[in-house]
Amino acid sequence: MPTVTVNIAGPGAPTSNGEASLAGHMWYSLSDGKGKTESYGFSPAREYPGNPFAPGAVNAHGSDDTYYTVKKYSRTFDITQAQYDAMQSFGRNPSAGGFDTYYNGLSNSCIDFTWKALEKGGLNTSGFQGELLPLDNIDRIKKIDPVTGSLGKPSVRRQRF
């Protein structure tokens, strides 16, 4: 069965080449259930170091699954093939999915990107755009009902996707 994992790293999280994350990071990883994996994260493009307002890029440092060596929180959801396809399509071409690829550390960051992907995959039916800082999103991710995609209390109603 395909899965999506939402990942959150905190400020100071070490990276695979000896750096440390400035403010933390949030990204998602997809698995097709047959061993194929891919992750998607959004950040300023590399030629704009330290700039909170800059052209953005997906996976600017390659796979975030390997770039960030310590995660503060992860949650994995079983998803349908349709949900998998929707989130993969969004990650591979976010502008086609209606996402502005200009990075704004305050209002269009890795957090907005991940929540938008969850929305595409039916796991954020309210269109929530995220809290300002990565770690502040942990409680919100915990509240996602994997069946309805709502951020409210769990329901037994099965969602159509």
Partner 1 sequence: MLDLISLRTILICFLSVYLASLGKSSHAHIFDQGPQPSTIEIDLTRAGPVADFRFKVKKHFSHWFSMRFWFVENDQAERARIQKLLGSHAIDKNGKPAEPGISTPVDLQIFAECAGGKEVEVYSQHIDPILASWGAGYFGKNIGHHILTPGIYRARLVNKRAAHELSSIRTTFEIAMPANVVFTPGNTTSRGEPCRP
Using CB under 8 A as the binding rule, the residues of this chain from 6 to 25 that contact partner 1 are 12, 15, 17-23, 25
Beta-carbon count within 10 A of 51 CB: 12
Q: How far is the CB of 128 from partner 1 (least distance, A)?
A: 11
- Start-to-end C-alpha separation, the chain: 16
Structure tokens at 79: 């998803």
Q: How far is the CB of 87 from partner 1 (least distance, A)?
A: 13
Which residue, 53 or 73, has its beta carbon nearer to partner 1? 53
The Cβ-side half-sphere exposure at 97, using a 13 Å CA radius, reads 22
Q: Which of 49, 114, 20 is nearest to 75 (CA)?
A: 114
- Pick the binder of partner 1 from 82, 92, 139, 143 (CB under 8 A): 92
Number of residues interacting with partner 1: please give it, by CB under 8 A: 47
Q: Is 132 in the site for partner 1 (CB under 8 A)?
A: yes
- Pick the binder of partner 1 from 81, 93, 126, 155 (CB under 8 A): 93
- Pick the binder of partner 1 from 105, 133, 146, 147 (CB under 8 A): 105
C-alpha distances out from residue 48 to 25, 38, 52, 109, Å: 17, 25, 8, 14
What secondary structure letter does DSSP report for 97?
G
From the number of C-beta atoms within 10 Å of its C-beta (0-12, 13-18, 19+), residue 56 rates as buried
Q: Is 116 in the site for partner 1 (CB under 8 A)?
A: no
Q: Is 38 in the site for partner 1 (CB under 8 A)?
A: yes
Strand partners, 42: 58
Which residue, 70 or 157, has its beta carbon nearer to partner 1? 70
Q: Is 78 in the site for partner 1 (CB under 8 A)?
A: no
Residues contributing to the site for partner 1 (CB under 8 A): 12, 15, 17-23, 25, 34-38, 43-63, 92-93, 95-96, 101-102, 104-107, 132
